[in-house]
Amino acid sequence: MAELDPRTTPARPDLAARHLEGHLTAARFVDGTLREVIEAQAPLRRAPAPDAPLDTEALKGERVTVYESNEEGWSWGQLASDGYVGWLPTAALAAPGPAPTHRVAAPRTLVFPGPSIKLPPLAALSLGARLTVTRVEGPLAVTPENNYVPATHLKPVDTTEGDFVTVAETLVGVPYLWGGKTTFGLDCSSLVQLALNACGLPCPRDSDMQERALGETIAPDLANLRRGDLVFWKGHVAIARDPATVLHANAFHMAVAIEPIADAIARIRAAGSEITSARRLPGG
């Protein structure tokens, strides 16, 4: 049996998901409880502590299967969107409400407590967040909680964008944050994931997972790079905009940035890492 990836396997020595019984050893197996993220975003951490490493973030409207909640306010579970496993604040979760009808299609939007954009906003939702719209009043969409969101920033959940590179380009300048997945901060692989998801394409969370799962390997020389090709290093991924430039969230710029691919290759090589592969997505 292939070794299971702990990032996407809801199993610990003391506890595991019921569906894994017979496939691995754990002290007990439990059925999960479906929950929904009700905050704008919720950190998914490696341990149940606010200073534990941030592995990813869950966005409003995402579904989570929770296998354990502790008295300190943390829940251990698995995200339905990409299968990532970790600890989330219990207060950010609730029983699932009505199915989301719309997704945030702008880099960021605001949630207002009433039908006026002059009111102090309650929250900011990032690209990819999902919410239920019950009606539209003029320029504002209304949620079941009677909150108001600019309708121009939303699109129905069953619609998709046409070019994931264009989506990624709207995020240029967003700060770099390891594990981040919002326009307050994101990392190299979440940039790829958010952009592909906006186009209706599934995408794993981390760059090594993406390198294994996405597209087909193309020639190691990069002379024939096309828009939308993915370039991988160990622990890093960049999106080709054209044969000469790439777009990536990176710690050198501490932001999502566009730069000549030759500069990126030289800088990363100087830090001790070579390109591991370049991959082309279907239709690329």
In the predicted structure, residue 220 carries a pLDDT above the cut 70: no
Summary mean pLDDT of the chain: 96
Cα Dmax for the chain: 58
Residue-wise pLDDT for 241-277, tens only, equals 999 999 999 999 999 999 999 999 999 999 999 999 9
Match 């993220």 to its residue by tokens. Answer: 37
> What's the CA gap between 198 and 83, in Å, rounded?
18
Question: 122: which residues sit within 8 A by CB, 6+ positions away?
Answer: 111, 112, 113, 147
Weakest-pLDDT range from 123-127, 190-194, 224-228? 224-228
Q: Strands of 93-94's sheet, edge to edge? A: 54-59, 41-45, 85-89, 74-79, 63-69, 33-37, 93-94
Residue-wise pLDDT for 48-79, tens only, equals 999 999 999 999 999 999 999 999 999 999 99
In the predicted structure, residue 284 carries a pLDDT above the cut 80: no
